[in-house]
Chains A and B, each alone.
Chain A
Amino acid sequence: MIRHLESCANCREELAQVRAHRQQLISAVHNDDESVIDPMFAVKLKAALRAESVQGATSYSSFIRFAFAGGLALLVVGISALLLQERAPQLDVVVNPNGANVANSNNNDRSKRSASFELVRNDALDDHRNCALSHRLEERPIKLAEAAVRYDAVYRDLEQTVADALKSKFGNELTLLRAHYCLINGRAFAHMIVEHDKKIVSVLMTRGEADGNNETPAPTDCGNEGPLKVACFRAERFDVFVISELSSEANLSVAESIAEPVADHIRISGQSV
């Protein structure tokens, strides 16, 4: 076939047309709004699967204990006792059945980060790398205004709030490049991309767990990941991350400048419950 293609211009042209047609088709289908997944559905599905994974494993453990009991009574009793000791603390693990991002940490002290918060932090880092830096998201982001209509009024004019807060503190040193609502690893973020000192800064906001605490703790340094610095804070029901290759102090300073305005924005939008 390859030899034929080398000698037949008509067939080469036909093949080129088929390939071009295919690319057009792929692009059209991937850009079709109807076939793009609802980010909130994806988030809830992932959380529900995680919850099922925990509950299902608990049942599985019970089955294993019963399965062994018939044949090796004494040994099973000993193993069961050990398994029960290990499992008992897990039964108190709280998994959010509503499908929001799972966070079971003490939200008043981000320095004692839970495994769940680490997952959120890692997703924020992935979003910074794959969206802000390399534009490699699998799903096309949507505008914050559209997210405000579809999901939560809190996203309306959020970028303006952030831009005004940054301008107030930094003047023209920071420039808001773009803002959108994007999906990474099944988690949705409101994502504002800022340029400062020729470096890209991401401000990422995602839903967290309600903890009844309406205060906004001061932003904290949430660690480095290679050259990337992470600052974070809780604003009402949302976790906010500021990620960049600025110095830790500068990165934290960006977070500090936006913390109160963002919290006020959320409260005013009526989504503080």
Chain B
Amino acid sequence: MFGTVKQREERDWDSFESEAIPHIPDIYRIAYWLVRDRDEAQDLVQETFFQAMRSFHRYEIGTNCRAWLTKIMYNLNGKRIRKLSRFKLYEDVDETISETIAFEPPIETDIKDKEIVLALKRLPDSFRHVVLLADVEEFTYREVSEFLGIPAGTVMSRLHRGRQMLRMELTKKAQEFGIRKAG
């Protein structure tokens, strides 16, 4: 009635293989942007998928597996950081930035991918994570809120400011290259 043990094992692996394994490249990309180091990203991805396999019975087949894996990864990374850090992590002072960013220039289409990536890397962590998860990885505000452990309203405000800061960076870069005349 329940199948042999071997059959159940094969089904479990088959389910995990079809649901979770295809997301390895995506999870790696998110991990890389989280830890900013390829070796660390690989360690984190490995740890994430092993944890996911152990917890796979808690995952509901057919739901958003990528979000489930991302949440596991953020939890693991959070534990790692808490373990390593002896000091209290203060909330990023960038929260107090900047009602002064008033001008929002359009992004120049001549800006190359490399410049966009560099500009994203230059964003403060708290803004970069939100922009990456919401705009690049296209998670919902609610999912981003769960990953980062912050209210959905904070996600929205950081996303708005992050986008503004990105635009400012890219406009500066465009001016350097003479794509756009300085105002």
Contact = CB atoms under 8 A, between A and B. Distances in A.
B13 A50 contact: yes
Contacts of A21: 107, 163, 166-167
A233 B6 CA distance: 30
Chain B binding surface SS class: helix
A61 B5 contact: yes
A129 B153 CA distance: 43
Interface string A32-48: 10111110011001101
Given A21-B107, A26-B136, A185 B21 contact: yes
Contacts of B42: 38, 41
Interface stretch (B28-36, B82-90, B92-100, B175-183): B28-36
A24 interface: yes
Interface in A74-106: 83, 86-87, 90
Given A17-B107, A54-B9, A86-B4, A28 B24 contact: no
Interface in A1-43: 17-18, 20-22, 24-32, 34-38, 41-42
A34 B13 contact: no
Contacts of A28: 113-114, 116-117, 120
B30 to A, nearest CB: 9
B125 to A, nearest CB: 16
A32 to B, nearest CB: 5
Contact of B135 (A17, A26, A35, A86): A26
A183 B53 contact: no
A57 B24 CA distance: 22
Interface stretch (B44-52, B69-77, B139-147): B44-52
A48 B50 CA distance: 9
User: Residue among B50, B54, B113, B163 with the most chain A CB within 10 A?
Assistant: B113
A13 to B, nearest CB: 9
Given A54-B9, A185-B21, A36 B29 contact: yes
B50 A49 contact: yes
Interface string B4-39: 111011001100110001101110110011000010
B26 to A, nearest CB: 8
B9 A57 contact: yes
B152 interface: no
A53 interface: yes
A186 B24 contact: yes
B15 to A, nearest CB: 11
B107 A35 contact: no
A24 B4 CA distance: 51
B165 interface: no
A32 B9 contact: no
Interface of A: 17-18, 20-22, 24-32, 34-38, 41-42, 45-46, 48-50, 52-54, 56-57, 61, 83, 86-87, 90, 138-139, 183, 185-186
Task: Please give me the 3 A-B residue pairs with the lowest Cβ-Cβ distance, nearest first.
Answer: A28-B116, A28-B113, A37-B28
18 contacts: A21-B163, A21-B167, A24-B107, A24-B111, A24-B113, A25-B131, A26-B135, A28-B116, A34-B32, A36-B25, A37-B45, A42-B24, A42-B28, A49-B21, A53-B13, A57-B5, A61-B5, A138-B26
Given A87-B6, A138-B22, 6 more contacts: A20-B107, A21-B107, A21-B167, A36-B29, A53-B12, A90-B6
